[in-house]
Structure 1
Amino acid sequence: MFSAKVVIFLASLAICYGAPNAKLSSKKLKISPGVDVKIEDYPFVASVQWCNRIYGICENICGGVIVNENWILTSASCAFEARKVIVGESDLNAKHKVIVNVAAKYKHPNFTNKFGPNDLVLLKLSEALTFNDKVQPAKLPSQGQEFNGTFVVNGYNSITTADYSILQAVTNLSLISNDDCYDKFKKLLPYEKIVIDDDSNICTFSGASNTCSGDFGGPLSQNGTVVGTVTWTIKPCGASGAPNVYTKVSNFIDWINQTITENS
């Protein structure tokens, strides 16, 4: 039997995945425990933006990865609201930032919902990016490549307030097995359907969830090579005992290359 406190705690936990349903307003909901970093250290990071067409106001909804001068990789669950992309900025409120419109979107054909495998979309930009020390394409792994060691995840967070427009990083993350990842989530959410797909997903664990709303599609990387993109986590953000789940980029390299070739 669960105690009353345990029942209340479990009721407060839920699976959190990409936009639009993951928009959260609390100032406490941010990448945790992240530190501010310079875009020069992670020049392949992008901010995927939703824009209010009436008022012309845009805000970060997801992270993204620069694949080349014309393409951004992010979470498929972010695709519907993706309107613009910002690159080359540590601070999304900077006056002179590079903003490019999204011209077309190509979801992975086997992505079926906001909480499932194959959570990737390629965004084709309306104009080519100019590369410099703040804007660079990511290094991508080879098809099927495996990784070990430590990793870093980047995000701008949910910026429903201007406080969370700064690029952050959580470092020294380690991979855990997908079985271990599943077991940790089931302990926290015994009545939720947990999907950890071996072909699509990898997980990290640092004792608590690190990513949050606004970070989906953002990169998990190792020495500049993008190993994963944030696909879902648990809320409230920073929940103790919760891993983070990513799309395993190395299993989608053939799809990325084919999609870009066929639509360039």
Structure 2
Amino acid sequence: MASIQVPEGNTLKHECGGFVVADQWVMTAEFALKVVLGVHSLSEAEDTKQTFDIMELHNHPDFSIENYDNDIALIKLDRPFNASDAVRAVELLRAGGTNPDTGAAVETAGWGSLDNLGSRPDKLKEVVIEVINRVKCRRTDYFGRKFTNNMICAHKVCREDCGDSGGPLLYNGVAVGITSNGGKKCGQIKKPGVYTIISHFTEWIDNTMGTQPAAAPQEAS
């Protein structure tokens, strides 16, 4: 996981999540200022942390603020990261790949709100959630017309259900989605988390990254 951070006084404050997709690229949602990789605790000093400035920020040109359609962004770091047990690239599901079906167990992680008061954890949280039927998510009592073909929704009624915008949705270890938006309150049955489907943006990703393979770099010998 990457922590996308913003300055707050003399320190940095966590703003949203992201994840490494190549040796100098991080995928996230529609905003970013500074990137810290290898984070587990937001407040504690950790030898695994690597901090980067942003060389380039590419928001999808068709992003819609009204319904968060095309909610995907790519960040080019100011230098390649050092691969380790705590920092490595994740495989992306590409066009033609199989996205998880209704009822499939998927994983997400981040430092998102733990409750409806906006309380955030200091340490990285992970949770297994379940994909919800697309027809249900399009119902007017769910998201209606705001739910597009570029989205998948998943849910589990629990405190950890509020995801961290920009973080990954994993299916069998492969990133299939990006945490986008959803219910304004944690654990609402009819307002599950909404995730951008990564495989729908393969061409844009390849063009933005210069067709750089999205594979983990090797550790230096």
Superposed pair shares fold, TM > 0.5:
yes
1:105 aligns with 2:60: no
Q: 1:95/1:161 Cα in 2 relative to 1: closer, same or farther (>3 Å)? A: farther
Partner letter of residue 156 of structure 1?
W
Letter in 2 for 1:84: K
Q: Which residue of 2 aligns with 1:211?
A: 162
Q: Matched residue of 1:257: which SS?
A: helix
How far 1:220 moved relative to its partner?
A: 0.6
* Structure showing greater Rg: 1
2 CA distance for matches of 1:178 and 1:107? 26
Match of 1:90 in 2: 40
Gaps of 5+ in 1: 1-44
1:248 to 194, 197, 203: 197
Contact 1:152 1:222 in 2 (8 A): yes
Which residue does 1:50 correspond to in 2? 6
Taking structure 1 as the reference length, the TM-score comes to 0.70
Q: 1:201 aligns with which of 151, 168, 175?
A: 151
Partners of 2:142 and 2:70 lie apart in 1 by 24
What are the residue-to-residue correspondences of 1:103-142 with 2, within 5 Å?
103-113=55-65, 115-142=67-94
Q: Deviation per CA, 1:35-54, whole angstroms, max 9, x where unpaired? A: xxxxxxxxxx21111113xx
> How much has 1:132 moved relative to structure 2?
0.9
Q: Are residues 1:182 and 2:138 paired?
A: yes
Identity of aligned residues (%): 27
- Which structure has the highest helix share of the two? 1
Counterpart AA for 1:181: C
Between 143-152 and 130-139, the greater mean CA deviation after superposition: 143-152
Gaps of 5+ in 2: 213-221
Check conservation: 1:65, 1:73, Cα contact below 8 A.
yes
Question: Residues 262 and 136 from structure 1, CA distance in 2 versus in 1: closer, same or farther, beyond 3 angstroms?
Answer: closer
Separation (CA, whole Å) in 2 of partners of 1:179 and 1:231? 19
Specify the alignment match of 1:227 in structure 2.
176
- Where has structure 1 moved over 4 Å in runs of 4 or more? 158-163
> What residue in structure 1 maps to residue 108 of structure 2?
153
Which deviations, in whole Å up to 9, do the C-alpha atoms of 1:195-217 show, x marking residues without a partner?
A: 1111x1111133479225xx101
SS of match in other structure, 1:187: coil
Instruction: State the Cα distance separating 1:258 from its structure 2 match.
Output: 1.0
Cα distance in structure 1, aligned partners of 2:179 and 2:66: 12
Aligned residues: 204
SS class of match (2:206): helix
Partner Cα separation in structure 2 for residue 106 and residue 122 of structure 1: 5
Contact kept in structure 2, 1:70 and 1:128, CA below 8 Å:
yes
Call closer, same or farther: CA 1:262–1:249 in 2, change over 3 Å.
closer
Residues 250 and 163 of structure 1: is their aligned pair in 2 closer, same or farther, counting only changes over 3 Å?
Answer: closer
Cα distance in 1 between the residues matched to 2:120 and 2:205 = 34
The residue number in structure 2 matching 1:144 is 96
Q: Which has the higher contact order (CA 8 A, sep 6+)?
A: 1
1:132-185, Cα deviation, whole Å (9 max, x unpaired):
1110001111213222331101111259999622111111x22223221122xx
Deviates more, 1:247-256 or 1:105-114: 105-114
Q: Provide the rounded CA distance (Å) in 2 between the counterparts of 1:241 and 1:115.
A: 16
